[in-house]
Every structure is written in structure tokens, then in C-alpha cells.
Amino acid sequence: MREDEFRAFMIFLLNYRNIVVELSRLLNTKFITIEDFEKPIGRALKGIFYYHNAGLCSFRDYELARLTMLVKHLQHIEHYDPILLQKFREKINVSDSDYYGFRFEVAIASSLIEKGIQFTHPDPPDFRVTYDGSTICIECASRHVSQDRYHKPLDIVLEIKRVINRKSRRRYDIPKCALFIDITNLYYLAHLKGQINQLGTVKEFIREILEKESNFGSILLFIYIMNKAENRFEFNYIRIDNKKINQTLKSFLDTFYPMSKHEVLDFAIPERG
């Protein structure tokens, strides 16, 4: 092994060790047993070494960046409210069916904390915020297609509609509540299948749903991307407001989740958030 290769390998091992140690502390778990590595986060840690041994360094580094982002989000929550961290700790690494939704909640909680927003987590709805003397709320959802469906036709609009319909039957489907949806996996599959053109119809479709079927004040579609220039994971989002949006919610979103574009030219799309 050349000296530069050895140095890069040692840096990788150090970063990996730091992530494992901090995840173990934050989640109050040890990644030791076979069962530990069958859970979502344990599988991601195991996958990093699989990519490394297979020489797939870009995939290895994407996974490292993704888990580094998770560590940062959990640290934000720990400093904000240790009791809230405990609530997430009990849910986030249990099963695949729950992981993606709870991971997205963790990301949004961290986003609110970074923006200096005080909130509670009544669940339901996921977040309640007092803003300009009024209470608004945020409900989170994630759409993740199982791998056994990867080779079947994908209808992105239908998949998003399923999420909106499920959430629209709840009592918080009101003009002062925003629905945040993680569609990273759908976006990844659209690229994989060459169906990215479907995304061009999504905004008009959601606008029509908000007009005829749903009372949410706004719907925001979030996508995790790997910003190669910055070597970090980050969020991009699309926001679609209901004509009946509560004005306090609109003011809140205009301030903290504005519609202005954030353009990233060199990026990769992960399979999941």
C-alpha cells in the first residue's frame, strides 16, 4: 500500500470510528452483536465496509456523509431537549418500516433547532410552533418504496398522493398545518428508471389536490442530496401552498422555508435519506 493510500485509509478508519462511537452514545446502543447490524443503522455501518472492500469509495463516502448528518441532527436535538432525544432514540433504529419516517422527523427537528425555532413534539402532529402569537403545526411523512418493487413501473404522482391521502384523514389536516414529505427514495428511483420527467407534473398535481381534496396549508417535498462541492448531505425542497393557507403559517414558511431556489449543480442522489 502506498503512503498516500495508507494515509487515506487511516483517515477513513478514524472517521468511521468517530461515527460509531458517537452513534453508540447518542442512541445508547452498542454495535457489537449480529442483531445490532441487522437494524437500519447497523446495516448502514456494515455497508460502509462492504463498499470500502469492494473499492466503491464514492458509495462508502456517501454513506459516511449520510451518517455524519444523522449524528449532527441527533446532537442538535440532545442540546435542545434530552427528553426529545430519548423519544427518538426509542423509535429510530427499530425497524425498516418505521426508520425512514422517524429519520425524517429527526432531520426536521434539527432544521427547526438550527433556525432558532422553539417547538413541542406532541405527536400528533409532529411539531407545534408558536409564531407571531398563534400556533401552527408541521406533520411529517416519508415515502419509501421497498426494494422488491424497484423493477416495477413507478408512478411518482400516485406514490405522493397515497401519502397525502393518508395524512389528510387526520384531524390536523387544516390550513394552519404544513405537511412535510421526504421523497428522496422516489427521486432516486425516478433517476434510476429514467422517469425524472414525471417530477415536472408534481407541483401542478399537488396544487390540484390542495384545491379539491386536502386542507393542509402547504405541502413541502424534501429531497436529501449529496452536495459534492461541499462534501455534505443537505436538503432541497419544493413548496406548494394552498390558496386557503393560514396567514401565520404562510409568514412562518416565507421566513424559514422560502420558495427561493437553492441551486446545486454537482450532486448525487442517495437511495434513501
Q: What is the pTM of this model?
A: 0.88
pLDDT value for 232: 67
- CA pair distance 190, 4, nearest whole angstrom: 38
Q: Which of 108, 65, 71 is nearest to 222 (CA)?
A: 108
Cell reading at 24: 453508540
pLDDT value for 199: 67
Q: Where are the beta strands (DSSP E) in the chain?
A: 119-120, 127-131, 134-142, 177-182, 218-227, 232-241, 267-268
The continuous run of DSSP H or E covering 87 comes out as: helix 82-89
Q: C-alpha angle with apex 255: 253 to 219, nearest 5 degrees?
A: 15
pLDDT value for 262: 54
The continuous run of DSSP H or E covering 161 comes out as: helix 156-168
Q: Which of 140, 125, 131 is nearest to 255 (CA)?
A: 131
Q: How many residues does the chain have?
A: 273
Residue by residue, DSSP assigns 4-63 as HHHHHHHHHHHHHHHHHHHHHHHHT----STGGGGSHHHHHHHHHHHHHHTT-HHHHHHH
Residue ranges for the chain with pLDDT beneath 50: 265
Which residues are CB-neighbours of 194 under 8 A, at least 6 positions away?
none
pLDDT value for 86: 93
- Per-residue CA distances from 41 to 24, 156, 241 (Å): 10, 26, 34
- CA pair distance 201, 146, nearest whole angstrom: 23
pLDDT value for 99: 82
- CA pair distance 46, 36, nearest whole angstrom: 10
From the number of C-beta atoms within 10 Å of its C-beta (0-12, 13-18, 19+), residue 136 rates as buried
Per-residue model confidence as pLDDT tens digits over 22-55: 999 999 888 888 888 888 889 899 999 899 999 9
pLDDT value for 98: 73
